[in-house]
Structure 1
Amino acid sequence: MDGDLGDFLRSRRARIQPEEVGLPSHGRRRVPGLRREEVAQLAGVSVDYYIRLEQGRGPGSTSRTKSAGVSDAVLDAIARVLRLDETEHAYLHAVARPPKTAERRRSAPRVRPGIQLLLDSMERTPAFVLGPAMDVVAWNALADAVLGFSRIAPAHRNTALQLFLDPGTHDLYPDWAAVAAQTVAHLRLGAGSHPDDRRLREVVGELSLKSEDFRRLWADHQVKACMYGVKRVRHPLAGLLTLPYESLVLPETPDRTLVAYTPEPGSETAERLTLLGSWASTGA
């Protein structure tokens, strides 16, 4: 995913108007937002330095090392000028200074047996585990009853691939557009943290090739950690389910995230999940 740093910086300066940072807005501008020279001036760095950074080249860098030499102070100043939020700020650091190859973790193929036992013990809570590329690596029976993981081919048992390549997901998710935007923002955040993850590259490549919706959203460079929220699922048997969710990073494997749907006890959704779990347990 080469070019992420430059594309991200260009997209973020394009959304800042000169008058927002105290600069005159008169005169014709060839591009929207701030010019590179203005970002450099406001951040207190030379224009050449900022241009090199936007090209993915830091001080003393080569085509292989990219911007590894850029300091925290410079990145923090640029984040301030571009008005990045906390998640965008962390993403800027990640893509500007990717970890050395020797320090990059290889993704484990599956979860520990203890994690699977934990999932299975959550009989009233649909829960599953995602990898950095949004592959579903483990799940419990109720999550399978809601989302049908076991019926998906292993190579495409991935929430992003399913969302954009399976037309049926437009019926499954009444708020498909919002779910799609959140998914891409989360996937891009993962790309910043795992720049050399082969599986993540494969997923982004396949979606870029096959989905116009994905290409459009990916080009927006939105980054967001979707760690909690609410999703609505229209299940063919149980009907409309309103599912608050919580996401927890597994301590020993920080590239694994456990996602649990947590409807309010006694709610209509909770009752429908109980009924769905009963159907699933009897093989209905």
Structure 2
Amino acid sequence: MVTASRAARRHQRGVLPAPRAGRDQHPSEQVLDNIARALRLDTDAEIGGLSLRSDRFRTLWARQDVRQKTSGTTLLLHPQVGPLDLQYEKLALPGTSGQMLITYHAERDSPSYERLQLLSHLAENPAE
């Protein structure tokens, strides 16, 4: 289900041109200001709601520590082998404008490791 604020965010993203678009395709300063204000209000409301429901969230939000997440765990659902619980690491590529190389791996001897082995076998032998 798409909420009204989600629909508004989609619309707002659609207003902004691609980074390489010509100057004549950029929205006016007023349009950009309206988008920024609407997003701030929407975000403030969401943060307020989360803060009321969770003491732990309120404490973490108050710390205001901002950092880029460069590693962690993610769950991928592969159509042939099922769920893969993978570790990832994002590596910045020097000399590029924000491009990242992302590596994934499974813990050795885990169910996800075995599923990756199966996936490798399936890729090498597509007729099986």
Give the TM-score of the pair, scaled to structure 2: 0.49
Give the TM-score of the pair, scaled to structure 1: 0.25
Give the number of the structure whose residues are more often strand, by fraction.
Answer: 2
Higher relative contact order (CA 8 A, sep 6+): 1
